[in-house]
Structure 1
Amino acid sequence: MGVLAALAILAGLIVVHEAGHFLAATWQGIRVSGFSIGFGPVLLQRRRRGVQFALRAIPLGGFVSFPDDDAGTAIPKDDPDLLTNRPLPQRALVIAAGVLANLLLAWLVLVAQSTFVGIPAGFSATPGVLVSGVQAGQPAALAGLQAGDRIVSLAGTPLAGGSQAVAELVQRIQASPGQSLELVAERSGAPVQLRLTPADQGGTGRVGAQLQPFGSEAYRPARGPLEPIRQANHDFTTLLGRTAGGFLTLLTHFGETAGQVSGPVKIVEMGASLAQQGGGSLFLFTALISINLAVLNALPLPLLDGGQFVLLLLEGLRGRPLPERFQMAFMQSGFVFLVGLSLVLIVKDTSQLPAVQQLLAR
């Protein structure tokens, strides 16, 4: 059920994103020929008011198509309702609407979380440190640590709870490059003994794992109708800033952070795990993935909304449309890049699933 919930959320976020483009176009009277979830061959379709609504075979996103790009369309090229014949501001709104829809959805989800789950009232820490993520090929993964493990002792000494325990463990790891550390972790209620050897990076130990306090967040009812909105504004700003900062760090320090990039398989795994923790976690998961989808699509890369916005900006600076050959080459290169990257991430994430790792170890 957790996997189905995560898949449903991802599908819903894609629908919302494409609905943003679709509604921005139809609201302005711009002709639309198709609304597709996925790419490739059509599995299911329905035609309504001249628009083909389709579910396609490759579930790696979606798109809204326009008659401008249809080779066999009977609509004259000078039709004022074609997207290419509309003023730049109207076309810019259609392009930006997908990102805006995902950001609006994330904010609404956070408002709903504050309304129905409650306002955060403090973190209730319990002993141990939670391993929230592990990078493949790094010392933590090689030692056998897995996401979801709770480290309960280091070198025979129990770890206290809260941020102090995380700081203590991180400090010991950083001070022990190349040295063997004995850990005891709890996995599915059973103790697991591990031997971890931090890698030496400039004299500092690194293990390739994300650590956080172990425990649960306490919530209280909102005090008045405006408090959920204020809390949602705070949470939204924080998540958006951290997400944008994460993408910036990836671009500026690609070699150091590329291993932390996750694809759809890892996202579904994380969502399934959160689904088992209750509805409150799913609210945050939905908002976080929606914001990530918005920021990702805003990047100035071919095929993404940001890339199309760049083409529109160049057209505005030139005062006339860019050569069709250039636009086609730009979009095709983006398609090859994004599909290739998605496949690489799917293979990488699938190979890191515990069940697959156990199978490969046989």
Structure 2
Amino acid sequence: MEGILTVLKTIGFILVVIFSFNVIIFVHELGHFLAARWRGLEVERFQIWFGKPIWKKTINGVQYGLGSVPAGGFVALPQMAPMEAIEGDNESRKEPLPPITPLDKIIVAFAGPLFSFLLALAAAVVVWQIGKPKELIETQTVGYVVPGMPAAAAGVQLGDEILAVNGEPVFGFAGSLESIQEQIIFSKGDSIDLLVKRPGAGELTLTTNFHIDEATNFTKRDGVRQVGIAPMGEVIVGLVTPGGPADVGGFQTGDRILSLNGRTVWSVSHFISLIQEEPDAALAAEVMRGDEKLSLKTMAIVPNNGFSVVPGAEPKPMIGMSFQAPASATQLVHPGPWEQVATSGKMMAVTIEALTSPKSSIGPQHLSGPVGIGKVMYRILHTDYPLSLTMHFWVLFNVNLAIFNLLPFPVLDGGHITMAVMEAIRKKPLNTRVLEFVQSGFVALLLTMFVYVTMKDTFTSFGGEAPKRDQSAPQAPTWDQQKLDSLLNGE
């Protein structure tokens, strides 16, 4: 019964994702449709998704349909520009339609992005009212330096406060375009300058290289720039495995770990690295339990049943506990509607700049299509705040959709506007055969990009999906209890 409910829940989530995606496309195309009606244009079809219709119905001379290629949608307006390459030809039309003015074309083309923007603004109002989880990690202090990574080679140390990246002041560690992580990802050039403030040493400029996880094959994405640092953060005990080293040592859920063997603990990653440095040895931990400071003893032992946190990886020493996020991580914030829209627009501008810069490591492979977007929305539905995060995603997606469609490329709304402006300047329509050739070429380019991005979306767990555990592998760690007892007793 539980398995059936899980399947039904998954199907329900997928249907919600499809519905959400179609609402976004429908609103955009509705803008074109209503503007075309207002300006008196001939409307042949109103279709969500491209390709041959799998469902269609004609009402008042307009064919409404659902296409077979799950991407985008269109309103067939033969008076705008030759679009047969993507919308198909209408063989039933017997006589040519009267031309329309360039102003009509501009209004109808602009209406789609306008409606996307209005939908983004409406979603932003919802987020403003109900709030969303705080994304910004406010600390700028380094809480872990990965051994062997560029930051370690450059001399970055625990406790360093990063003030600027490549001369640009940063605010927070991650979660905004001005944060340390995003500034590194979108950095340009062969090196990255970090301005740090080090206790006892003042301000220092450290120049580091960067690392990119390369794809294992052409179907997957390369990673983004990273230098190997993590933010400082509280280490709060989550679940404690019964009978494990942490349980035997007296750790409880909610304990805040301050130090280990006299060394300050800067973050969860730092704590894990410390316990793995000294396997099978007694470890003295100082923790805060409420307002009381306690001294506890534990040790890290390799599970005797081959359990590994990362499926397929070599088992490592562990103490049998998970960690919980600090209360600030689930704090709700209420950003204003215009702030949300402006931030989304800035993110789109930064992405376009990175895509077009030869000094950036961001390329077309890092873009997402319908499959990637669907993955993001599916993960959002599994969070504790599905409504607010869905609305927040709508803000970002619709602003990006509006800006993308306003780019001056053929087929896009911006292309129609550009051609209408050229027509107004020339005082006569553009050459139809030339337009057909240009439109067809760009359609082919878009379809190629669609296939390329969809392949990357399909075969890459972009955004950090957890790998599936081998069901034949141990589902929980077990330890040699005799060895554990003897270590704890100091024998």
TM-score, scaled to structure 1: 0.68
More moved, 6-15 vs 283-292: 6-15
Between the two proteins, the alignment pairs up a number of residues equal to 291
Matched, 1:263 2:376: no
- In structure 2, the residue matched to 1:333 is 441
**Offset at residue 74 of structure 1 (A):** 3.6
**Offset at residue 93 of structure 1 (A):** 0.6
- In structure 1, the residue matched to 2:232 is 160
- In structure 2, the residue matched to 1:311 is 419
Matched, 1:64 2:75: yes
Deviations 1:189-227 (A, max 9, x none): x844989xxxxxxxxxxxxxxxxx99635237x8xxxxx
Question: 1:249 pairs with 354, 378, 389, which one?
Answer: 354
Question: 1:5 pairs with 16, 19, 31, which one?
Answer: 16
Matched, 1:139 2:210: no
Quick one: distance in 1 between partners of 2:93 and 2:359? 44
Conserved in 1, the CA contact under 8 Å of 2:136 and 2:174?
A: no
Quick one: distance in 1 between partners of 2:115 and 2:174? 33
Quick one: distance in 2 between partners of 1:239 and 1:214? 26
Distance 1:25 1:275, change over 3 A: same
Conserved in 1, the CA contact under 8 Å of 2:103 and 2:420?
A: no
Conserved in 1, the CA contact under 8 Å of 2:408 and 2:417?
A: yes
Instruction: Point out where structure 2 has 5 or more consecutive residues left out of the alignment.
Output: 1-11, 83-89, 145-172, 176-180, 186-210, 222-227, 235-265, 271-307, 315-325, 471-491
Quick one: distance in 2 between partners of 1:57 and 1:302? 23
Deviations 1:102-138 (A, max 9, x none): 11100110001212x138889688999999999xx94
Quick one: distance in 1 between partners of 2:75 and 2:338? 30
Distance 1:252 1:65, change over 3 A: same
Matched, 1:113 2:127: yes
Q: Per residue, is there more strand in 1 or in 2?
A: 1
Moved over 4 A (4+): 119-134, 354-359
Where do residues 216-231 of structure 1 align in structure 2 (5 Å cutoff)?
A: 216-219=329-332, 231=336
Quick one: distance in 2 between partners of 1:215 and 1:349? 32
Which is higher, the Rg of structure 1 or of structure 2?
A: 2
Matched, 1:279 2:405: no
- In structure 1, the residue matched to 2:107 is 93
Structure 1 SS opposite 2:329: strand
Distance 1:217 1:251, change over 3 A: farther
Quick one: distance in 2 between partners of 1:41 and 1:313? 32
Quick one: distance in 1 between partners of 2:49 and 2:337? 31
Partner AA of 2:92 in structure 1: G
Deviations 1:2-58 (A, max 9, x none): 433332222111111111100111122222111011122111011111000011111
**Offset at residue 349 of structure 1 (A):** 1.4
Conserved in 2, the CA contact under 8 Å of 1:2 and 1:275?
A: yes
- In structure 2, the residue matched to 1:293 is 401
Quick one: distance in 2 between partners of 1:105 and 1:61? 16
Quick one: distance in 2 between partners of 1:99 and 1:67? 19
Question: 1:46 pairs with 33, 57, 69, which one?
Answer: 57
Structure 1 SS opposite 2:53: strand
Distance 1:72 1:340, change over 3 A: same
Structure 2 SS opposite 1:101: helix
Deviations 1:59-111 (A, max 9, x none): 11111112546453145533xxxxxx222212101011111111110011000
Quick one: distance in 1 between partners of 2:467 and 2:30? 36
Partner AA of 2:72 in structure 1: G
**Offset at residue 328 of structure 1 (A):** 0.2
Deviations 1:246-278 (A, max 9, x none): 213212348621142222211111111112112
Partner AA of 1:102 in structure 2: S
Partner AA of 2:35 in structure 1: A
Partner AA of 1:103 in structure 2: F
Q: Per residue, is there more helix in 1 or in 2?
A: 1
TM-score, scaled to structure 2: 0.52
Conserved in 1, the CA contact under 8 Å of 2:49 and 2:70?
A: yes
Distance 1:254 1:122, change over 3 A: closer
- In structure 2, the residue matched to 1:36 is 47
Conserved in 2, the CA contact under 8 Å of 1:262 and 1:345?
A: yes
Partner AA of 1:21 in structure 2: H
More moved, 118-127 vs 290-299: 118-127
What is the RMSD computed on CA atoms of the aligned residues?
A: 4.1
Distance 1:232 1:25, change over 3 A: same
More moved, 96-105 vs 61-70: 61-70
